[in-house]
Amino acid sequence: MTKDNTSPANGSILVVGGGISGLTTTLEAAEAGYEVFLVENKPYLGGRVSQLNQYFPKLCPPTCGLEINFKRIKDNRKIKVFTMAEVEKVEGSPGNYNATIKLNPRLINENCTACGECVDVCPVERKNDFNFDMDNTKAVYKASEMAFPMRYTIDSSVCKGSECGKCADVCKYNAVELNMESKTLNIQVGAVVWSTGWKPYDAEQIDNLGFGKHKNIITNMMMERLSAPNGPTKGEIIRPSDKKAPESVVFVQCAGSRDENHLTYCSYICCMASLKQATYVRAQYPEAKIYIFYIDLRTPGQKYEKFYKNLKEDENVFFIKGKVAEVTEEPDGSITVVAEDTIAGEKVRQTADMVILATGMQPAAKPHADLKVNEDGFIINDFEKGGMFAAGCANKPADVVSSNQNATGMALKAIQTLVKR
């Protein structure tokens, strides 16, 4: 590892967060000839988009772009990736930063061939956070079959350790190191790009929308996993309570966004995400009724407007302008939502087999560095000062294409910092 730290301090860039924005910044800077350290706290790269089933508006799988990006990383020796790593602090000034990185123990070393024999013998199960706890994995797991790096991880919070040790016994390659410890390393870099991304707003905070109380109310991110071929149901959209094929689905827009009690801003992606998810439902259930309760449908621009227009052609998709105020569970597990139709000025009720809350995004991390954040926690870019920048959803709520634009630009801002020195 020391060998990789020997580059001149002003010659390299630290990218914090390996989601789509971080990957983009990393690759675009490295392919312009700069050395990049990419630090990701999860055991895999890809971040939020790796949990998505499809991108809007093309309805293409995010793993397609990720695969290309991973290939670009593999082919580029200027990139050093650290997974399960956290940036504990960054100190210094533009052109000269010292970053402290903690490498959390994976309990599986680089000998791992991803053969998977350890999984068969592992006696412990854990909730699968990648699938929002909708299924379980063993304590030794791989987040997804696309996981990069392609290596298993042991969840130390549930693993019984050496008292069990079955995985270590079965592994022919001495890849299991149950007593692996965390390490700390320091790296010198000239610029830092924070692409720490977003997390879904905690739907349980929205009392009136019943998430966590009623099984058949799920979030939009759960819907992505539920629709994904590699998800908990192998892509079958079914009601969580009884695995019933839904005949009707309600989408609740602005669940926690544009709301003074929760996130006051608009989360940018949720309208298009719900319209996209309506197409998931339609693809599996040609007759299902789909109700979308919204304040405004934010499908700006020709591409998004066209997507919305196509969906409007579907006579079993109903758009209702109104904010959902309450939900109740029916005896059969279906959910009734009540909203005020602001145009008609009356209350509308709609019962459906499943409800999907279009929950919004909030910044995932608070960076331990000298950065300005706004009242919602998004990092404000100070280009005058330079040196450290936020890219993608660490900076503001954005869709993937805007995040990638932004992340490409931030690669240049980082490079400018190095060139100046």
Partner 1 sequence: MSKKYGVYICTGCGIGEAIDIEKLSDVPDEEGIKCTTNPFLCSKEGVEILKKDVADGTNMIAIAACSRRVNFDVFRFDGCLVERVNLREQVVWSHSREKYPAPTEEQKDDDDFVDHIQLMAEDYLKMGLARLEKVEIPEAHQMESVSKKILVIGGGITGLSSAIDAAKAGYDVTIIEKEAVLGGYAGKIRKQIPVVAPYENLVNPVVEAKIKEAEALSNITIKTDTIVARIAGEPGDFTVTLKKPGEKFEFDVPFPLPDEMKVDEDGKELDVEQLNEVYKEFNKGKEDILTFDPNGEKFGAVVLAAGWRPDTIEGDDYSHLGIGELPDVITNSQFEEIAAKGKIIKPSDGKEAKSVVFVQSPGKGEDDSDFKYCGSVTSLVSLKQAKYIRDDYEDGKAYVIYQHMRTPGLQENFYKSIQQDDGIFLTKGEVASVSKNGNGLIVEADNTLLGEKLKIKADLVVLAAGMVPVTVDDPVINLAYRQGPGFRDNDIYDGYADSNFICFPYETQRTGIYAAGCIRRSMTIEESVEDASGAALKAIQCIDSVTRGVAVHPRSGDMTFPDFFFQRCTQCKRCTEECPFGALDDDEKGTPKPNPARCRRCGTCMGACPERIINFADYSIDSIGSQVKAVGVPSEDDYDEPPLRILALVCENDALPALDIAGMNKLQYSADVRIIPVRCLGSVNVIWIKDALAQGMDGAFLLGCKHGDDYQCHFVKGSELASIRMKKIGDALSSLALEEERVTQFEIAIDEYDKLPEMINSFVEEVEALGPNPFKGF
Residues numbered 288 to 307 that lie near partner 1 (CB under 8 A) are: 296-303, 305
CB of 333: closest distance to partner 1 in angstroms?
Answer: 29
> Which of the ranges 113-121, 128-136, 162-170, 283-291 carries the binding residues for partner 1, by CB under 8 A?
113-121
Which of these, 79, 66, 67, lies nearest to 29 by C-alpha position?
79
Contact 82, 146 (CB under 8 A): no
Crossing angle of the two packed helices 400-420 and 20-30, in degrees rounded to 10: 40
> Which of the ranges 54-62, 94-102, 201-209, 327-335 carries the binding residues for partner 1, by CB under 8 A?
54-62
Of the pair 334, 395, the CB lying nearest partner 1 is at: 395
Of the pair 291, 378, the CB lying nearest partner 1 is at: 378
- SS3 annotation, 21-82: HHHHHHHHHHCCCCEEEEECCCCCCEHHHHHCCCECCCCECHHHHHHHHHHHHHHCCCEEEE
Of the pair 128, 406, the CB lying nearest partner 1 is at: 406
Among 100, 284, 316, 408, interactor with partner 1 by CB under 8 A: 408
Q: Which 201-260 residues touch partner 1, going by CB under 8 A?
A: 228-230, 234, 258
DSSP state of 341: E
Interaction between residue 385 and partner 1 (CB under 8 A): no
Interaction between residue 321 and partner 1 (CB under 8 A): yes
Q: State which amino acid sits at residue 332.
A: D
Distance CA(358)–CA(341), nearest Å, equals 18
Q: Which 72-101 residues touch partner 1, going by CB under 8 A?
A: 72, 74-76
**Tokens representing residue 16 in the block:** 């914090």
Among 6, 315, 343, 346, interactor with partner 1 by CB under 8 A: 343
Among 4, 88, 93, 111, interactor with partner 1 by CB under 8 A: 111
Element counts in the chain: helices (H) and strands (E): 8, 23
Interaction between residue 119 and partner 1 (CB under 8 A): no
> Which of the ranges 27-35, 93-101, 211-219, 277-285 carries the binding residues for partner 1, by CB under 8 A?
27-35
Of the pair 123, 173, the CB lying nearest partner 1 is at: 173
CB of 22: closest distance to partner 1 in angstroms?
Answer: 13
Number of C-alpha atoms within 13 angstroms, CB side, residue 274?
31
Interaction between residue 419 and partner 1 (CB under 8 A): yes
Interaction between residue 28 and partner 1 (CB under 8 A): yes
Q: Which residues contact 47 (CB under 8 A, 6 or more apart)?
A: 17, 18, 19, 20, 21, 22, 40, 197
**Tokens representing residue 100 in the block:** 């402290």
Among 134, 266, 338, 373, interactor with partner 1 by CB under 8 A: 266
Q: List, in sequence order, every residue forming a beta bridge with 326; answer none if it has no partner.
A: 338
CB of 72: closest distance to partner 1 in angstroms?
Answer: 5
